[in-house]
Amino acid sequence: MVNSPTETPVSTDRAVQIRNVNFSYGSKQVLHDVTLDIPANQVTAFIGPSGCGKSTLIRCINRINDRIPAAKVTSGSIHVHGIDIHREDINLHELRRRVGMVFQKYNPFAKSIYENVVYGLRIAGVKKRSELDEAAEKALTNAALWNEVKDRLHTSAFGLSGGQQQRLCIARVIATEPDIVLMDEPCAALDPLATLKIEELINELKKKFTIVIVTHNMSQATRCSDRTAFMYLGKLIEYGDTMQIFENPGNSQTEAYITGAFG
């Protein structure tokens, strides 16, 4: 952190610091002046109605939005472990390796289970078989999938159930040992049982990783997050401890949303 002179105070217990971020898709502004800190080794949940910008916000953290030509952070800054991720000399590939992402629709590659898990290591240039095997077993164990797939590691990932495929995607992300795992509605395409498994997994994973999760499911936010941010129309309305947000919301819009009055 020595070579990162930033205006904001740098703190190790804050994994991500978002400061006054405005974001636009072309002429359509999606995020308005969002500022918040995401603490390390906790689960931070983003809730809010569809189109409120919560997915867009977490997709800014690993700069995966760069792919979309007209999408741009127009002002403000995002620091990951104190480093401004919009610096000219940022190592984008390393950033994405450190900030993993699990997508809404589970998207394993059309490869074997094993090849899916070691993908990140392979593209990082790891060639040693023993190292790959070890990492695959560790990641699959951490993703609570090892016992289910250990006998068919080399069969197609598409043979797994939806929930297993999503856990495989989580295993793929944690195989490279990132610091932060972004989850964009990881259970949106899953049934309640598979959802439960992922939630248990999230509770396990937060011991090692900082987890940021976007969810539509408010009870999911209460079950597995430490902190909750409520967003509405591209603005951060309220942000605090999950207990406080759900039991004693400080904002009338938050209250209306969590009680189901709109959204």
Partner 1 sequence: MIDPDILIRKGMPKGYFKDIFVRISLGSVTYLILLIAVMLFAKIVIDGAPAIFSSKFPFVDMEFLTAKNETLHVFDDAEGTRHKLPASKYNEYLKAHPGDTIYNEKTFSYSGGGIAGPIAGTALLTLGAIMLALFFGVSAAIYLAEYAKQSPFIHMVRLAILNLAGIPSIVFGLFGFSVFVLAVPVITNMPSDRSLLVVPLLINDFCLSFQGWNSSLMAGCATLACMILPVIITASEESLRAVPQGFRDASLAMGATRWQTIRKCVLPYSLPGILTSSLLAITRVAGETAPIMFTAAVAAKDDFPWEGLKNPLDILSSQVQALPYHIYTLAARIPNSEYTQRAQYGSVLVFLILVAVLSFGSMILRAKLRAKLKW
What is the contact surface with partner 1 in residues (CB under 8 A)? 62, 64, 67, 69, 92-97, 100-101, 103, 105, 107-110, 119-120, 122-124, 158, 169, 172-173, 176
Q: Are 181 and 100 in contact (CB under 8 A)?
A: yes
Nearest partner of 225 among 186, 173, 257, 255, judged by Cα? 186
Give me the least distance between CB of 129 and partner 1, in Å please: 18
Cβ nearer to partner 1, comparing 123 with 243: 123
- Is the separation of the CB atoms in 170 and 107 below 8 Å? no
In the bound state with partner 1, the residue whose beta carbon lies nearer, of 63 and 79, is: 63
d(CA 165, CA 256): 35
CB of 159 to partner 1, least distance (A): 11
CB of 64 to partner 1, least distance (A): 5
**Smallest gap from residue 11 Cβ to partner 1 (A):** 25
d(CA 30, CA 33): 10
Query: Minimum Å distance from CB 263 to partner 1?
Result: 26
| Residues 4/82, Cβ–Cβ less than 8 Å | yes
Question: CA end-to-end span of the chain, whole Å?
Answer: 41
Q: How far is the CB of 104 from partner 1 (least distance, A)?
A: 9
Nearer residue to partner 1 within complex by CB, 139 or 218: 139
Our CB check for partner 1 shows the closer of 177 and 241 to be 177
Q: Decide whether 60 or 237 has the Cβ nearer to partner 1.
A: 60
**Shorter beta-carbon distance to partner 1: residue 62 or 253:** 62
